[in-house]
Structure 1
Amino acid sequence: MNTEKFNHFLSQISKDPISVIDASISLDNYYPIAISSKNKELLSFDISSSTEWETYLKSFLKKINAEVAFGGYLEKRNIYDRSTYFKNQSKEKQRNIHLGIDLWCAEKTKVLAALDGELHSFKNNENYGDYGPTIILKHQIEKEVFYTLYGHLSLASIENLKIGDTVLQGNTIGYLGGSSVNGDYAPHLHFQIIRDLEDNFGDYPGVSSEENIAFYQKNCPNPNLLLKLVI
């Protein structure tokens, strides 16, 4: 199935928004946020500090009376400059284009399976600035196989898991981790759709360089085709 048809296929899986964090949080309490140079408020604090990030986000959410700040698909971000993990791996240029949607909210928030599927893999990606504890689910709808990735979880989220276990849409699969385990970020879920995992296990690039973005944009469709959040 070509990219355009697959994206349409994803958008038609559900007419209603699909929750990947605590479904008791109303969509009225979601608010879009830019984590890029477009957001001039980011100049007011040290973006390399997870503590200052968390303080900023709590203030942002309080100011707009919301519980979840979201966004980031194909957003070019300076935050990755703080970590050598995103810099000059082999001959690839700086990776700074985000391939998922982030949902910034409170630590220990429930993380939910987007769709029926099975546990493909899990891993604690411990590099500074990486995902930390991560779960990948495999889905097959009709004849289409694809994957969803849930990053920045708590350590407990990847304990006592069994590859191949069945999960149902809306099942709690984990909880958001704090900065000490999640790659040193303010608490949030990185949610990403992946067509071809390319033999990865418990991990997949969540950020692309400019030179590789054409491939990743096709392989990692916009998660909002499922989430249907109003931006």
Structure 2
Amino acid sequence: MNTEKFNHFLRQISKEPTSVIDASISFEDYFPIAISSKNKDLLHFDISSSTEWELYIDSFLKKNKANVAFGGYLEKRNIYDRSTYFKNQSKEKQRNIHLGIDLWCAENTKVLAALDGEIHSFKNNVNYGDYGPTIILKHQIKKEIFYTLYGHLSLKSIENIKVGDSILQGDTIGYLGSAVVNGDYAPHLHFQIIRDLEDNFGDYPGVSSEENIAFYQKNCPNPNLLLKLVI
């Protein structure tokens, strides 16, 4: 299935918005946020500090009378400059284009399966600025197989689970982790759709360089095709 048809397929899975965090939080309490140079607020605090990020996110949510701040697909971000993990890997240029949607909200918020499926893999990705605890689900709808990735979870999210466990849409698969375990970020969920995992296990690039973005944009379609959040 080509990219255009697959995107249409994702869009048609559900007419209603899909919850990937605590379903008791109304979609009316979501508010879009930019984590790029377009957001001039980022000039006024140390973006390398997870503590200052938490203060900023809390302030942003209160200001906008929201419980969740969301966004970021294909967003070019400077925050990755703080970590060598995103620089000069295999002669690749700086990776700074975000491939998922982030949902910023409170630590320990429930993380939900977007669709029926099974646990493909899980791992604690411990590089500075990485995902921390991560779960990847495998889905098959009709003849199409694809994956969803849930990053920046708590450690307990990857305890007492195993590869192949069946998961139903809306099941609680984990909880948001703190900066201590989630790669040193303010608490949030990184949610990403992946067509071909390329033999990865419990991990997949969530950020691309400009030179590789054409491939990743096709392999990691916009998660909002499923989530249907109003931006």
- TM-score, with structure 2 as normaliser: 1.00
Amino acid in the other structure paired with 1:93? K
Matched to 1:125, the amino acid is N
Structure 2 matches for 1:1-231, cutoff 5 A? 1-231=1-231
Q: Whole-Å Cα distance in 2 between the matches of residues 29 and 219 of structure 1?
A: 30
Report how far residue 34 of structure 1 moved: 0.2
Matched pairs, number: 231
Shift of 1:150: 0.0
Q: Which amino acid aligns with 1:151?
A: G
Consecutive aligned runs of 4 or more in structure 1 exceeding 4 Å deviation: none
Distance 1:36 1:190 in 2: 16
Distance 2:149 2:194 in 1: 8
Cα shift at 1:151: 0.0
CA–CA distance in structure 1, aligned partners of residues 163 and 76 of structure 2? 34
How far is the alpha carbon of 1:40 from its aligned partner?
Answer: 0.1
What CA RMSD, in Å, does the superposition of the two structures yield over aligned residues?
0.2
Report percent identity of matched pairs.
87
Shift of 1:103: 0.1
- TM-score where L is the length of structure 1: 1.00
**How far has the Cα of 1:47 moved from its partner?**
0.0
Q: For residue 191 of structure 1, report the CA deviation from its aligned partner.
A: 0.0
- Per-residue CA distance 1:200-224 (angstroms, 9 max, x = gap): 0000000000000000000000000
Q: Which amino acid in the other structure matches residue 140 of structure 2?
A: Q
- Code of the residue aligned with 1:171 in structure 2: it is D
Unmatched 5+ residue regions in structure 1?
none
SS of 1:28's partner is: helix
1:136 shift after superposition: 0.1
Paired residue secondary structure (2:91): coil
1:90, distance to aligned residue in structure 2 (A): 1.5
Q: 1-side partners of 2:108 and 2:2: how far apart?
A: 38
Q: What is the CA distance between 1:162 and its match in structure 2?
A: 1.0
Structure 2: how far apart are the matches of 1:70 and 1:64? Answer: 12
Residues 57-111 of structure 1, C-alpha deviations (whole Å, 9 max, x = no match): 0000001110000000000000000000000101100000000000000000000
Q: How big is the shift at 1:14?
A: 0.2
